[in-house]
Structure 1
Amino acid sequence: VDLSVEEGELVGLLGPNGAGKSTLVKIAVGLVRATRGRAEVTGATAGSRAARREIGYLAELFRFPGWYTADEVLGLHQRLAHSDGGAAERGRLLELVA
């Protein structure tokens, strides 16, 4: 697969069950290693810290406890990504989905 996505572009993957859609996304975010070829995100190896800073992923079945606020969920992800955006970045992101 050769796929290029420009910044701000919205992409959908279509195909029958078992075609590899979920696997392709998991390779891009670093949850699965490619068995052949290479996977890069903005020139960095997929799954590397540099690549993870450029791409987001929300698992199909992942759930946060219902008592978490949206700000707390974003704060958790900031810590996991070693982001230094703080409350200002969280506020900007929350405005995008409000």
Structure 2
Amino acid sequence: MDERQPARELYWRDRDGSTYRCPGCGRPRDAVDGIEVHHRDHRKHNSDPNNLIGLCRDCHQDGQHNNRRASSRLQEPRPRGTEPPTSTASRPGF
């Protein structure tokens, strides 16, 4: 079993994947290659719900694991359920 699978299951347990929007760029799930669960503190064994965020593959890989150009769009972890709503307007460059 993939050691990251429990984090994925925990993250999606209370979320509707069909209406999910990437908090990094605001694109809906059907407009991206996929949603990946990111560990905000970069420790893959810390699966605290407040440490997990679902990002589209572009925001996750480019912004968090390569050149970090998109990481400024993401905010520090906050307690689950206190995240502000994301804008539904498209953003330039996406």
> TM-score normalised to the size of structure 2?
0.22
> TM-score normalised to the size of structure 1?
0.22
Q: From the two aligned structures, give the one with the greater strand fraction.
A: 2
Q: From the two aligned structures, give the one with the greater helix fraction.
A: 1
Instruction: Identify the structure with bigger relative contact order (alpha carbons < 8 Å, sequence gap 6+).
Output: 2
Structure 1 or 2, whichever has the larger Rg, is 1
